Amino acid sequence: MSAEAIRGSGGHKTALAGELRERALRYVEERPEFTSFDLVAELAVSAEWARKVIREWSSAGVIETVRQDGQTAVWRLREQALESSSLYARERARPEYVMWQEMRRARRFRPDELQLVVNTERLPIDLKQVRKYCSDLAEAGYLDVAVKGRAGGRLPTYVLRGRRGPFPPRVIRAPVLFDPNEETFQVMERRVQR
């Protein structure tokens, strides 16, 4: 797959980029060590794309540096990452992942525009889901409201705050213990389902 294919538009771009990331991760899983040049040669991608994916994996703790060969970093997959089988495959199955990737790309968007791009036959996403996810992210401080919406009219325009990692934040149901004596909440982490 060429770099030009990744620069496509709409939902195809997100789907192709996700597939390419999966291929890159499978390639890395089969090798004891790799460099960004290996990804460029194997996947026919730009050096910029390879470095970006390596930065994402590094910040997510999927890979670690083995050594420096001059100016070139040599990486390897971390042991615990191998146990999780495929990080991207698990995340890509979630609607939040597709929405998050498009939010990171667009930086400024309305929910209806986002829904047009992320809704596919493979992973149908309706406007209600997009609006709810945007609302959750805005409440948590991940999105700023650039232009307020109007009831029964225009939807709000959001702007993604700062540089964010590749994996989508999402609301989870967590069992919480409330102590009325001290007015404290404590998450019972062993029971949290992710």
Give the pLDDT score at 32.
79
Do 62 and 157 fall within a single domain? no
3-state secondary structure of 26: helix
* Final residue before a domain boundary, out of 88, 122, 153: 88
Domain that holds residue 136: 94-194
pLDDT in tens, 42-52: 888 888 988 88
pLDDT in tens, 170-182: 887 778 888 888 8
Task: Please tell me the distance from the alpha carbon of residue 177 to that of residue 188, in angstroms, as a whole number.
Answer: 7
| Residue 43 burial by Cβ neighbours in a 10 Å radius (0-12, 13-18, 19+) | buried
- Residues near 51 by beta carbon (within 8 Å), at least 6 away in sequence: 36
Do 49 and 67 fall within a single domain? yes
Mean pLDDT for the stretch of residues 103-107: 89
Mean model confidence pLDDT for the chain: 80
Do 99 and 190 fall within a single domain? yes
Task: Please tell me the distance from the alpha carbon of residue 86 to that of residue 26, in angstroms, as a whole number.
Answer: 8
Which residue, 162, 189, 165, 161, is CA-closest to 175? 189
Do 12 and 81 fall within a single domain? yes
Do 159 and 174 fall within a single domain? yes
**CATH code of the domain containing 68:** 1.10.10.10
Mean pLDDT for the stretch of residues 141-155: 88
Do 163 and 72 fall within a single domain? no
Neighbour-count burial for 45-70, b at 16+ CB within 10 Å, e otherwise:
bbeebbeebbebbeeeebbeeeeeee
* Final residue before a domain boundary, out of 26, 55, 88: 88
Do 58 and 122 fall within a single domain? no
Do 31 and 84 fall within a single domain? yes
Using a cut of 0.85, tell me whether the model's pTM lies above it.
no
- Residues near 97 by beta carbon (within 8 Å), at least 6 away in sequence: 18, 91, 167, 168
Q: What is the percent of the chain where pLDDT is above 90?
A: 21
Count of structural domains, the chain = 2
* Final residue before a domain boundary, out of 31, 57, 88: 88
Do 84 and 101 fall within a single domain? no
Do 168 and 101 fall within a single domain? yes
